[in-house]
């Protein structure tokens, strides 16, 4: 008998790694695995369609709004543009509280937010990415609409749900975005892990071993620990500890370099904002990548500072050329690197499992000095056998891993399926409820209790947690919380249910009541006005009065980098 199942329609899959300093895009087909491609050719002027491009795995996350003409993004930003005209670090504006105070980055973020609408900036940048993506694909794909394409967006593991949603909305508003196209999200370190483990070598990883992914990017450094359950036919891993991280990426390293430069050359004639920008670009592209522990103490590094006169006392032995000693670079690097090492140690301690390898990915993750310092930190003590690995193409591992994750959902039989069996909850998630007062549980809030006429008992307001921090969660399993709302009939029928969802990422133990660490995550609201009166249950309370009694469920789903909540009353959603 012929198979009656309809063939799966081919879909275009687009992965986007919107980064702090550089961004990447990859695309592929849900059914043709030979079509997975990463964009490596970027326009350097408006005539790029005629071949005027630069070949790089990523494109700078920068914008410029010239007085005339279109918005410039990426490499389209004129190199000769004045430094004050170029907007960088726009991604950090989504989480400004994470940026260290008094850093160069903090000043940049503050100045952008004082003048610009951050969501519009991100929308404009993503518009440029999408336009170039579709031009690059040309005739390789058919007509594109919201039903023929899906997007996978990589976001930092330490981002709040609000920052993630703002990025999704900016993408959906971007020019060329197919209306109605689904957008999924994956955490950046998870995407990097998927890419690394998808490769045939898998760096000798074995079932039962655990490893830490350190995604050191331009803004954030994100970490997640995984344990391998199986390698074939499905690559199955379990999160051994909640994702963690901090704002200590390469942009903060750049900030320290700028502060060093200003202190050294600030009083020199010819030291302008444009010279500063040129020196930073050279530091970013060349010096940062060449510096290693072997450079110390004798190596020197030349930085162009055109226009600055000869002055040996400030390290300019020849006009226009600053010479940095390796020991000076060590002072610039070390405070940031020590923060990364601290994060790695904390992640390992929290995981509570032996770690076999540390996988260092991301732009900053390609730094030789960072790898050597992390390796040295684990050469002695109980973790001395940990190997630090820099996978090939670590700079683009996030965008490629994001693409592989989405495609593997469509073609598990043709592409090794990557399965995250369970994740460790990063926060406490719950809602505030009225619960029956129990002396053994609620004595600390005895003074806040009140008598409830419907139940005929004393009640208190407490937190009811769907899931607690570090508990295993699976995105395949929704979590349900049964709740009940009562209201005196004499007060009129209720027209809506309103329930707040709260999260706490600070407390180790889930608190009993709302405190300063418990923040509102979102508000669920259900309209009851269209439900017939006879479908709303009424009961007599202990006090003799009639009450409306409305039972409902809250369904919660936890995925790689997002959470979703649905309020359900009977068959109504």
Residues 126-170 pLDDT 10s: 999 999 998 888 766 656 766 789 999 999 988 889 999 999 999
Distance CA 458, CA 442 (A): 11
Q: Are strands 457-467 and 428-436 parallel, antiparallel or unpaired?
A: antiparallel
Q: What is the DSSP letter of 355?
A: -
Report pLDDT digits (tens) over 183-194.
999 999 889 888
Distance CA 317, CA 518 (A): 57
Residue 463 lies in a domain: yes
Distance CA 358, CA 336 (A): 18
State whether the Cα torsion 198-241-92-388 is positive or negative. negative
Residue 313 lies in a domain: no
List beta partners, residue 433.
462
pLDDT in the model for residue 384: 61
* CATH code (residue 171): 3.30.420.40
Average pLDDT rounded to a whole number, residues 537-544: 96
Residue 128 lies in a domain: yes
Q: Using alpha carbons only, how large is the chain's radius of gyration in Å?
A: 27
Residue 71 lies in a domain: yes
Residue 539 lies in a domain: yes
Task: Supply φ then ψ for residue 195, to 5 degrees.
Answer: -60, -45
Task: Supply φ then ψ for residue 84, to 5 degrees.
Answer: -70, -15
Give 311's pLDDT tier (boundaries 50, 70, 90).
Answer: very high
Distance CA 415, CA 234 (A): 9
Domain end call among 142, 172, 188 = 188
pLDDT in the model for residue 163: 94
Domain end call among 188, 204, 224 = 188
Residue 561 lies in a domain: yes
Report pLDDT digits (tens) over 368-382.
999 999 999 988 665
Q: Which residues of 190-199 are buried (b: 16+ CB within 10 A; e: fewer)?
A: bbbbbbbbbe
Average pLDDT rounded to a whole number, residues 289-306: 93
Domain end call among 138, 154, 188 = 188
Distance CA 154, CA 58 (A): 14
Residue 506 lies in a domain: yes
pLDDT in the model for residue 48: 46
**Domain residue limits at 474:** 428-568
Residue 494 has pLDDT above 60, yes or no: yes
Residue 562 lies in a domain: yes
pLDDT in the model for residue 10: 80
- DSSP run (H or E) holding 522: strand 519-527
Q: State the total domains in the chain.
A: 2
Report pLDDT digits (tens) over 369-420.
999 999 999 886 655 678 898 888 888 999 999 999 888 887 665 555 667 7
């Amino acid at each position: 008998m012929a198979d009656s199942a309809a063939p799966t329609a081919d879909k275009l899959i687009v992965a986007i790694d919107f980064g702090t300093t550089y961004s990447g895009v990859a695309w592929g087909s849900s059914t043709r695995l030979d079509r997975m491609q990463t964009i490596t050719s970027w326009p350097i002027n408006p005539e790029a369609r005629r071949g005027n491009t630069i070949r790089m795995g990523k494109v700078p996350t920068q914008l410029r709004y010239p007085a005339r003409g279109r918005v410039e993004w990426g490499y389209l930003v004129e190199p000769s543009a004045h430094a004050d005209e170029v907007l960088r670090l726009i991604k950090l504006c989504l989480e400004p509280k994470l940026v260290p105070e008094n850093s160069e980055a903090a000043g940049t973020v503050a100045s952008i937010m004082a003048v610009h609408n951050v969501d519009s900036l991100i929308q404009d940048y993503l518009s440029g990415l999408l336009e170039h993506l579709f031009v690059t694909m040309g005739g390789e794909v058919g007509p594109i609409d919201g039903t023929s394409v899906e997007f996978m967006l990589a976001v930092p593991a330490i981002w709040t749900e609000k920052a993630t949603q703002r990025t999704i909305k900016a993408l959906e508003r971007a020019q060329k975005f197919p209306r109605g196209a689904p957008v999924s999200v994956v955490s950046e370190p998870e995407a990097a892990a998927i890419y690394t483990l998808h490769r045939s070598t898998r760096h000798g990883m074995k079932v039962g071993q655990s490893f830490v992914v350190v995604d050191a990017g331009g803004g954030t450094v994100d970490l997640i620990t995984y344990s391998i359950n199986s390698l074939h036919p499905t690559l199955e891993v379990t999160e051994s500890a909640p994702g963690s991280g901090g704002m200590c990426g390469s942009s903060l390293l750049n900030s320290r370099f700028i502060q060093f430069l200003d202190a050294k050359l600030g009083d020199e004639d010819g030291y302008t904002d444009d010279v500063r920008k040129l020196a930073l670009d050279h530091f970013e592209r060349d010096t940062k990548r060449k510096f290693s522990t072997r450079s110390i103490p004798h190596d020197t590094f030349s930085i162009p500072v055109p226009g600055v006169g000869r002055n040996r006392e400030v390290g300019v032995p020849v006009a226009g050329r600053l010479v940095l000693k390796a020991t000076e670079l060590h002072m610039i690097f070390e405070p940031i690197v020590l923060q990364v090492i601290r994060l790695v140690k904390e992640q390992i301690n929290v995981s509570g499992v032996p770690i076999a390898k540390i996988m260092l990915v991301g732009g900053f993750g390609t730094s030789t000095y960072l790898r050597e310092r992390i390796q040295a930190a684990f050469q002695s003590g109980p973790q001395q056998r940990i190997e630090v690995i820099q996978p090939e193409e670590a700079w683009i591992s996030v965008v490629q891993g994001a693409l592989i994750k989405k495609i593997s959902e469509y073609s598990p039989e043709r592409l090794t399926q990557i399965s995250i069996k369970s994740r460790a909850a990063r926060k406490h998630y719950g809602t505030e409820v009225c619960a029956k007062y129990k002396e053994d549980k609620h004595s600390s809030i005895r003074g806040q209790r009140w008598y409830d006429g419907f139940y005929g008992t004393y009640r208190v307001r407490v937190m009811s947690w769907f899931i607690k921090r570090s508990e295993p969660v699976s995105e395949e399993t929704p979590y349900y919380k049964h709740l009940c709302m009562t209201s005196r009939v004499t007060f009129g029928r209720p027209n809506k249910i309103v329930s707040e969802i709260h999260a706490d990422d600070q407390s180790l133990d889930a608190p009993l009541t709302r405190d300063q660490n418990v923040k509102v995550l979102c508000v669920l609201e259900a309209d009851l006005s269209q439900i017939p009166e006879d479908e709303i249950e009424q009961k007599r309370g202990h006090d003799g009065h009639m009450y409306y009694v409305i039972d409902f469920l809250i369904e919660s789903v936890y995925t790689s980098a997002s959470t979703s909540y649905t309020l359900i009353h009977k068959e109504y959603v």
